[in-house]
Amino acid sequence: MCTAVRFTDDKGNVVVGRNYDWGKSYGEHPIAVGKNHTWQSRHEGNFTTHAPLLGMGITVPELPGTPLLFDVANEDGLYCAALSFAANYGQYREPKSGKTNIASFEIPLWITSNFKTVAEVKHATENLNITNDQAAPGLPPSLLHWFVADKTQSIVIEQASRGGGLSGDEPVLRVYDDPFDVLTNQPDFAFHRSNVHQYLHLSPEWCETIKLREATVDALGVGPNMAGLPGDPSAISRFVRAALLNAYYPDQTGPADNRTRLLKTLQSVAMFKGLARQESGDFEYTIYSGGYSQTEQTYFYNTYDDSTIESFNMADCKDLQGIKNL
């Protein structure tokens, strides 16, 4: 399970990030990729980064030069995060002739290596086929969908069966404009977009005094107009909670306050040990919360066990050759 959120700061630049929620760590760590780094895709030959990249992920010996990125931003402010899309919602295909065949584990790297804006990504996905390749032994394909954002908009990329879940239909690639600038997990984005309509009565405003016959009824404190806001850890509830807070959080001035805004929004939907078990028996928890500030050109994150914010700047990658584990 995961949550991603996007907004723009007082300079009109993107601030975007995600919670990475899972039952165990894979040894993920910050990764920098230098400009003009060439990596080999599984089906489409070589790609070369047009700008430096900063993000979080892992590297494996079987894929030298190709980091497996959980979330990543490039110097242009284009960001991509891979989020769980399980319960058989995520569906991949075999490679197809005449298509741009990108393995699921390559999507964040492919997007931030090749494109500068969400608009460019949308155009490229018109011919995209997401393939069912294993990254390396012991790393089978994870069922994912992707949140892609820049300073103008965000989109959701999903390849799912036509009926969703267990329908068994041929997978269809869909790209959704995301007006909420939020993504969680399954069901598909179309469900989340519709489900939010059930909560249009919620408001952060002070609850005014009302009359009930001869009785005057006052609010007992702040918050009654948010009664009914879902608080459970499911993806459906986290989407609603994050969408409302992302909409109602007051605009902030300055990079520090906008970092705080992002991390507090993500904290509102964070997973804590003891709250929900996975099928494996592991408690799911927010292993890290990471984000990118375009104004600062900085990727920053903290972890479940350490709330200290660590950060890395694109300027430090200016002369980087290849990949560096930070």
Q: In angstroms, rounded to a whole number, what is the distance separating the alpha carbons of residues 201 and 189?
A: 21
Residue 261's region, left for phi above 0, alpha for psi from -120 to 50, else beta, is alpha
Tokens for 187, please give them.
């069901």
From the centroid of its chain, how far is CA 121?
16
Q: With beta carbons less than 8 A apart as the criterion, state whether 59 and 323 touch.
A: yes
Residue 189 burial (C-beta neighbours within 10 Å; 0-12, 13-18, 19+): buried
Q: Say whether 207 is catalytic.
A: no
CA nearest neighbour of 72 among 24, 118, 33: 33
Q: In angstroms, rounded to a whole number, what is the distance separating the alpha carbons of residues 58 and 17?
A: 18
CA distances from 199 to 16, 78, 244 (A): 24, 31, 9
CA nearest neighbour of 14 among 150, 111, 119: 150
CA distances from 65 to 45, 57, 132, 235 (A): 13, 13, 20, 34
Peptide bond into 250 cis (omega under 30): no
Tokens for 213, please give them.
């016959």
Q: In angstroms, rounded to a whole number, what is the distance separating the alpha carbons of residues 5 and 248?
A: 13
Catalytic one among 2, 80, 207, 317? 2
Tokens for 257, please give them.
């306050």
Instruction: Count other C-beta atoms under 10 Å from residue 101's C-beta.
Output: 21
- In the chain, the amino acid numbered 217 is V
Write out the catalytic residue numbers: 2
